[in-house]
């Protein structure tokens, strides 16, 4: 019954290796903040510059985070941030784009 004494973390969605990952956690936090900013600001037509730029930068930081992520917890959060940033980018592009109204 030794297996009853050990916690089962192998099947957990939020399994971690109990080591610090400052770069990965920073990229995760930046991606989530930019994704939420892009998603929320995309609901307003006049904020298309904010939503499109936040979405674009969020996708870039999320891609870099996916490249260096080491745990499932990091990847799960990055996917949520990437999805929100992608929706924000696409809606921002539909409402006027990255430079809409600024150039020309």
In this prediction, residue 17 carries a pLDDT of: 80
Q: Tell me what the pLDDT averaged over the chain comes to.
A: 87
Asked if the model's pLDDT at residue 82 lies above 60, the reply is yes
Instruction: Give the number of other CB atoms < 10 A from CB of residue 58.
Output: 28
| Structure tokens that stand for 99 in this block | 């430079």
Percent of the chain with pLDDT over 90: 66
> In the chain, what's the furthest Cα-to-Cα distance?
74
Confidence of residue 92 (pLDDT cuts 50, 70, 90): very high
């Amino acid at each position: 019954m030794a297996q009853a004494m050990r916690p089962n973390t192998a099947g957990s969605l939020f399994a971690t290796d109990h080591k610090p990952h400052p770069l990965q956690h920073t990229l995760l936090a930046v991606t989530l903040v930019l994704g939420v900013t892009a998603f929320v600001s995309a609901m307003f037509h006049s904020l298309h510059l904010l939503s499109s730029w936040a979405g674009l930068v969020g996708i870039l930081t999320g891609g870099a985070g996916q490249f260096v992520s080491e745990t499932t917890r990091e990847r799960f959060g990055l996917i949520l941030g990437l999805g929100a940033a992608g929706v924000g980018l696409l809606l921002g592009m539909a409402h006027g784009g990255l430079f809409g109204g600024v150039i020309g």
